[in-house]
Amino acid sequence: MARRSPQFVVQQHQATTLHYDFRLEVDGVLRSWAVPKGPSLDPAVKRLAVEVDDHAKAWGRFEGRIGGGYGKGAVIVWDRGTYEFLGDGGMAAALEAGHAKFRLAGEKLRGGFVLQRTNRSPPKPQWLLLKLDDADAERGGDLTATAPRSVISGKTIEEI
């Protein structure tokens, strides 16, 4: 029986501020980072990624409006797919060490990426999300602007 590839999802979230929640399936949960400007396919672009609480895997399929309280606002599934860890020791160990390299196979995001921790200070460690310079890299442009629609519903965040 073939082993299933771990999943990733990127949810655009209009909460207090618009951001993208980048989530990787690791050890049965979605490890999560808030990326204020969203992911980029340009290797020259460094995106801040603030570590946030893990989420249940089912959360990766959520699209709609979150009611009152923390995180309220509209959510779309901006991208989704599988990923392959690139390295030794596994994704959980790489994240614990503060440097994880992986290849995404999504509907929008493809190719190699790196999460590099830059600040471990609680309550929210900071990372950089970087695109590797590979065949899937695209210089210039802004994928979040040119491809704003949900990969599930086809709606934009404003239409939710």
Asked whether residue 114 is assigned to any structural domain, the reply reads yes
Could you read off the pLDDT of 22-59 as tens digits, one per residue? 999 999 999 999 999 999 999 999 999 999 999 999 99
Structural Rg of the chain based on CA atoms: 15
Asked whether residue 1 is assigned to any structural domain, the reply reads no
Number of domains into which the chain is organized: 1
Asked whether residue 15 is assigned to any structural domain, the reply reads yes
Asked whether residue 34 is assigned to any structural domain, the reply reads yes
Asked whether residue 46 is assigned to any structural domain, the reply reads yes
pTM above 0.85, yes or no: yes
Asked whether residue 141 is assigned to any structural domain, the reply reads yes
Q: How many CA atoms lie within 13 A of 111 on its CB side?
A: 15
Could you read off the pLDDT of 52-110 as tens digits, one per residue? 999 999 999 999 999 877 678 999 999 999 999 999 999 999 999 999 999 999 999 99
Listed in sequence order, the residues at least 6 apart from 55 whose beta carbon sits closer than 8 Å to its beta carbon are 23, 29, 30, 32
**Domain ranges, residue 16:** 7-159
Which of 88, 93, 86 lies closest to 31, judged by CA?
Answer: 93
Asked whether residue 57 is assigned to any structural domain, the reply reads yes
Asked whether residue 29 is assigned to any structural domain, the reply reads yes
